[in-house]
Amino acid sequence: MENLGPAVTKLLEELNPFAVLGKGAAPGVELAKNAVVLTNYSFFLIVAVALTAIFFLIASRRMTLVPKGIGNIGEWGVEFVRNNIVLDVMGSEGVKYLPFIVTVFFAVLFNDFLGLIPGMKPGTGTLGTTFAWGIMVFVVYNWVGIKKHGLWKYLKSFLPAGTPLVLAPFIYLLEVISHVLRPFTLGVRLYANMYAGHIVLGIFGIFVVMAAAALGPVTAVVAGLSLAMQIVMYAFEVFVAFIQAYVFAILTAVYMNGAIHAGEH
């Protein structure tokens, strides 16, 4: 067991992005922040996004009054987001933002799921993606708020009605900070869940391999238990993948709803 440390280090290194296209395209090569490359995460992100688009394009061409097959699955997905996220959080007013929220939900979901296939990575397993989408949500919901109320009124709405004048600057600053933090919390939450999930699966994988290689009655039991744990954790990761997509989409809806109803509370 003396090589557990190096194995874990190797696992962590393997989770770092590397370029598959562009300068320095090889596993393990550290990338400059501004390098013009396509990373392995970006590659699988494009695959997942393409699969999402293809799936929904096919589903949307298979619409029948009595739902069946792939059309039924696509419909069920859209209906789930519409009823359980958009209508629940935003009410009927939110229906016009359905395309955005559906895209957010399924982009995250397909990426999370793709990363669970051995040998592939989740596009959402890198901060580049999760921060970008967090910032995008931030821009979109603020834009919705400004468009609805006008810039001045929207900015004013950050200050709750009836705040004592003395406290106003302090409260306002807090509100602004809480808004500015949103894209980062969105990004980090998703990234950390994917990252941690893959580490857990990787660690149990290492246990299985190392314990099995040690060839002993005790290590055989350890290997078996680790394998069982890995299967359980894999199922759990499928659940996490769904939950994270749900959380990302529902927070997007909550932020948008807040922007639409800015100044009403």
Stretch that binds another protein, among 26-34, 153-161, 206-214, 246-254 (CB under 8 A): 26-34
| Residues 128/121, Cβ–Cβ less than 8 Å | no
Stretch that binds another protein, among 34-42, 169-177, 206-214, 249-257 (CB under 8 A): 34-42
Nearer to another protein, 40 or 226 (CB): 40
3-state secondary structure of 214: coil
Residue 31 sits in the site that holds another protein (CB under 8 A): yes
- Kindly write out the interface string for residues 195-234 of this chain, putting x where it contacts another protein by CB under 8 A and - elsewhere: ----------------------------------------
189's enclosing H/E stretch is helix 168-213
**Are 22 and 31 spatial neighbours (Cβ–Cβ below 8 Å)?**
no
Minimum CB separation from another protein for residue 89, in Å?
18
Task: Determine, following the binding rule CB under 8 A, whether residue 145 of this chain makes contact with another protein.
Answer: no
Give the amino acid at 98: L
Residue 228: how many other CB atoms lie within 10 Å? 12
Per CB under 8 A, the list member of 75, 84, 146, 254 interacting with another protein is: 75
Q: Is 247 in the site for another protein (CB under 8 A)?
A: no
One-letter identity of residue 18? F
Q: Of the ranges 47-55, 142-150, 151-159, 205-213, which one interacts with another protein (CB under 8 A)?
A: 47-55
Query: How far apart are CB 174 and another protein at their closest, in Å?
Result: 23
- 133 interacts with another protein by CB under 8 A: yes
Q: 168: number of CA atoms within 13 Å, CB side?
A: 9
Does 88 sit near another protein (CB under 8 A)?
Answer: no
Rounded Cα gap, residues 119 and 237, in angstroms:
16
Burial 21-48 (b: 16+ CB within 10 A, else e): eeeeeeeeeebeeeeebebbbbbbbebb
Give the Cα separation of 2 and 135 in Å (integer): 43
162: tokens are 């009836």
Tell me which residues touch another protein (CB under 8 A).
17, 22, 31, 33-39, 41-42, 45-46, 49, 52-53, 56-57, 59-61, 63-65, 67, 74-75, 78-79, 82, 98-100, 102-103, 106-107, 123, 126-129, 131-133, 136, 188
